Amino acid sequence: MSKLLRIENNDGDTVGYMYFCPGCKSHHAPYIRPYKSPNGASWDFNGNEVKPTFSPSILTRVERSDGKLMVCHSFVTDGNIQYLDDCTHKLAGQTVPIPESD
C-alpha cells in the first residue's frame, strides 16, 4: 500500500507527493523535479510509492502560534524517515517508517 498521497496540477500531472510526518504530526509535501513547490524547492524521487526515497534532505521550519520555531529536518530513504539532530520534536535522531496513507 502507498505511503504517499499524490499532488497533481490542473492538468492532472503528478507534481509531488505528501506524507504524514509523525515527528511534526503534520504532512510534508516534497515536489518532484522538474516541478517546484510554492517556495521554489524540488526533490529527486525514486518513483517507489511504497518505499519512497527523496533527496536531498527535507527541511521544514514553522513558527508556531506560541512563537516557538518548530524545525523538522530529515532524509526519507526506502520508506523510512531519518530525523536529524536539529529537529525540535521528540523524534530527533531517530528513524521511523512513513505511516500508511489513508
pLDDT tens profile 24-37? 899 999 999 999 99
- Answer yes or no: is pLDDT of 10 > 80: yes
pLDDT in tens, 54-102: 999 999 998 888 888 999 999 999 999 999 999 999 999 999 999 987 6
What integer pLDDT is reported at residue 1 of this predicted model? 67
86 conformational bin, left if phi > 0, alpha if psi -120 to 50, beta if neither: alpha
Tell whether the model's pLDDT for residue 7 goes beyond 90: yes
CA distances for 30 relative to 54, 61, 65, 66, angstroms: 8, 14, 24, 26
Looking at residue 20, its pLDDT comes to 95
What span, in angstroms and rounded, lies between the C-alpha atoms of 70 and 67?
A: 9
Cα→Cα distances 96→35, 78, 79, 83, 100, Å: 27, 11, 9, 8, 12
Domain ranges across the chain: 5-97
Q: Tell me, what's the pLDDT at 100?
A: 87
- 86: its cell numbers: 536539529
